[in-house]
Amino acid sequence: MVLVAFASMLTVGLLNRGVSNSIDSAIAKGQRAPAPDFRLPVLTSVPGLPPAGHQLTLSSLRGRPIILNIWASWCGPCTSEAPILQSVWDHYRSKGVLVLGVDVKDLTGDALAFHNNYGLTFPSVRDGEGNIEGPYGTTGVPESFVIDRQGRVAAALRGPLSDAGSQANLPGFLAVVDEVRAEGAPST
């Protein structure tokens, strides 16, 4: 029995090697961990960001709230989440919130086809090797993060966004987005 438990722990440890838990640990303590910076090529862009093919760093986006979504075209749950993310982008972009997708372990053509098939207009960057997964503690796709204006992670959602049924987590996630949006917002 002890040998089976040890083998299970070893397997989980090997599967999660290089995966940080600093984001989840900070959130569990009511704190915000710095969002790990990255420099990745832009897959799809919007005005104000570098054009497709150019590099984008997360740190260059400081000062605005960000919903960072890690996804892939081959991910089944990403297909049901895509329309939800698009509606979040449609609602929040005029309020200064950026939805930024990070396509991982995918082919560029497949990722672009996914964007086109689902009518996605929010920008995405491409991480073909999945290097972002370790620093963000990602163990699967999709996963979403709310990043505040100071570049700190305010929320981490491990799994797909859902707006229906017993799995509905969108209202709570958007409550954090609204809280982050209100923090340090320019007065009108």
Rounded distance, CA 43 to CA 116, Å?
A: 12
Q: Give the pairing type, strands 98-104 and 66-71.
A: parallel
CB burial of residue 162 (10 Å; 0-12, 13-18, 19+): middle
Report whether 22 contacts 137 (CB < 8 A). Answer: yes
d(CA 61, CA 157): 21
Q: What topology does CATH give the domain 31-182?
A: Glutaredoxin (3.40.30)
Query: Which pLDDT value is given to residue 18?
Result: 61
- Going residue by residue through the chain, which has 188 residues, state the pLDDT in tens, using 9 for 90 and above: 433 333 333 333 334 446 789 999 999 999 999 999 999 999 999 999 999 999 999 999 999 999 999 999 999 999 999 999 999 999 999 999 999 999 999 999 999 999 999 999 999 999 999 999 999 999 899 999 999 999 999 999 999 999 988 789 999 999 999 999 999 765 55
- Contact criterion met (CB below 8 Å) for 133 and 104: yes
Sorted by where each begins, the domain ranges of the chain are 31-182
Whole-number pLDDT of residue 12: 38
Angle value at C-alpha 178, between 136 and 117, nearest 5 degrees: 65
